Amino acid sequence: MTKLSVNVNKVAWIRNGRGGTLPDIKEISKICIEAGCHGITVHPRDDMRHINPEDVEVLKELTESCGVEFNIEGNPFSVEKGRYPGFINLIKTYKPTQCTLVPDDPNQLTSDHGWNLSGDNSELKETIEEVSMHGSRVCLFTDTDELTIKTAKEIGADRVELYTGPYAESFIKGINNDLLDQYSLAEKFAHSIGLKVNAGHDLNLINLGGFLSTCLIEEVSIGHALISDALEFGIYETVKKYLKICN
């Protein structure tokens, strides 16, 4: 079984577009948990275009009280800016179950590539050690090449999250078996060296099943597509649909 973590960034984004408190991110997250999801994911950015530090505090309390995982993802080198306390300070304060480190630029619309670990990784290694010291499992956002995955293990990551954007894009044009094989080989290699494997980005109700039937994945993190589907099916039923595929 693959665990499902629901990324609720888009809920906060809708709320922020109007101001006020609706949709209520705590209540929407509670419905996701009641529907059976295994965790809640957030990706706070320094421009606070969606998730803000107050949301992180609320969702830490909610996930802890409900006994599900809390995953905070983001660039570990994002520093304090205005009300944004800096990524590592958020991790130190709220100690999520999992910390997913992503190499995104503050100006990026969304994450679109994994870490390049071909150079000097000493600073990232120190960051991983610091995050681990605060009790969080560390996951690195990666592409499918074996060298990157091997290096992720060497610098202390517990998991990798395979960036599935290329798979999702190719799926629109028809199933690309060669690309699926790349993901399958990457997953098998990661498991062979003792890493667990997550996956995420542009996975949806249409392409998720084919991916999970090919790759052994511990956890998927899904946000944009899931919240979009909820406009049609409602959030509770949408989570159930994704869980059915994960099962």
Residue 23 preceded by cis peptide, ω within 30: yes
C-alpha to C-alpha distance for 82 and 139, rounded to whole angstroms: 27
CB 32 within 8 A of CB 7: no
As to burial, measured by CB atoms within 10 angstroms (0-12 exposed, 13-18 middle, 19+ buried), residue 83 is exposed
Of these residues, 38, 69, 201, 219, which one is catalytic?
A: 201
Provide the residue type at 190 as one letter: A
Cβ partners under 8 Å of residue 123, min gap 6: 77
134 is catalytic: no
CB 183 within 8 A of CB 168: no
C-alpha to C-alpha distance for 94 and 92, rounded to whole angstroms: 6
Of these residues, 50, 69, 73, 187, which one is catalytic?
A: 73
38 is catalytic: no
Q: What is the DSSP string of 74-139?
A: E-TTPPPBTTB--HHHHHHHH--SEEEE----TT-SS-------SS--HHHHHHHHHHHHTT-EEE
Of these residues, 38, 43, 161, 219, which one is catalytic?
A: 43
Structure-block tokens of residue 179: 């690309």
Angle at 11 between CA 7 and CA 14, to 5 degrees: 145
43 is catalytic: yes
The catalytic site residues sit at 43, 73, 201
